[in-house]
Amino acid sequence: MAARSSKSPEPEQTPEQPNPAAVRTQEYAAGEGWEVGQTAPSDAFRALDADGTGAQTGPVVYSHPGGYAYQIVAKGGVVTEGVKRQLDAADAEQNDSDSEQG
């Protein structure tokens, strides 16, 4: 009786073509900026009121304002719709307070 080899004959090698439906298209980064989907170019904070209520006050600043502050987004983080909404609300609040003073 002949000894069986543990190796089975290898099937003929054919180059495998990728399924066109499964190939991912090239993705490009949205870049840095403050629009939804972009990468935040810096940290964004708003100060919290001194009364202890936790309400956000003042403008958006890009370095920690000292004391208590709320970090809206960290540098390198993706700007989401919620982040954009908070940034826009802070700008609108500042514009309202500027128009009341002037």
**pLDDT by residue, tens only, the chain of 102 residues:** 556 656 655 666 666 776 766 666 667 777 999 999 999 999 999 999 888 788 998 899 999 998 899 999 999 999 999 999 999 999 999 888 877 776
Determine, yes or no, domain membership for 86.
yes
10 Å Cβ neighbour count for 84? 17
CA distances from 19 to 12, 13, 24, 88 (A): 20, 18, 10, 44
Asked if residue 87 is part of any domain, the answer here is: yes
Task: Please count the CA atoms within 13 angstroms of the CA of 93 that sit on its side-chain side.
Answer: 13
Print the domain residue range for 75: 44-101
Measured distance CA(52)–CA(12) in Å, rounded: 75
What is the value of pTM for the model shown?
Answer: 0.67
Q: Tell me, what's the pLDDT at 7? A: 63
Output the pLDDT for position 11: 60
What pLDDT is attached to residue 13? Answer: 64
Residue 94 backbone dihedrals phi, psi, to 5 degrees: -65, -40
- In total, how many domains does the chain have? 1
